[in-house]
Structure 1
Amino acid sequence: MPVIWEEEGKVMPRIVNSRQIVVSSDRLHDCKEYLESEFHLMIDHALSVGWSLDEVAVALDDLVADEVAVPKRAITLH
């Protein structure tokens, strides 16, 4: 999963599958806010039909890894 961290005001990329993913920290914050409510609804729905939180977390992590692995979507430069 892409992760960013800041060092002296610079956004540092994390290497995923030999590809760089660079994300603006400002845009990342806004995107997380935008997705948060739907994300929690999706988790709540999965829990309500019997999946455990651990199963949901691992499944979501796998789905994100699969999505990032698609070459056309693997690199986002800002």
Structure 2
Amino acid sequence: MKKHEAEKSTAAIRLTRRELDVLRLIEKELTNRQIAEALFISERTVETHRKNIFRKTQTNSVIGLIKYAYGHKLI
């Protein structure tokens, strides 16, 4: 396994339960506002979770994020 791949696989372990909740709702194509309402948190908190998810998974688009999530069996 290459170093980069190893870093990506360990990143999956570091996603919090709430980040996984947000990830599942992103997959369902919900907006930040809809995610916030579903999880009873503010839109700003959703934005922070999204930013952290992208950073931890080293992705920079929703498509890349969903591919990563399926590849690592997160959703």
| TM-score over 0.5 for the pair | no
TM-score of the aligned structures, taking structure 1 as reference length: 0.32
Q: Which has the larger radius of gyration?
A: 1
The structure with the greater share of residues assigned to helix is: 2
TM-score of the aligned structures, taking structure 2 as reference length: 0.34
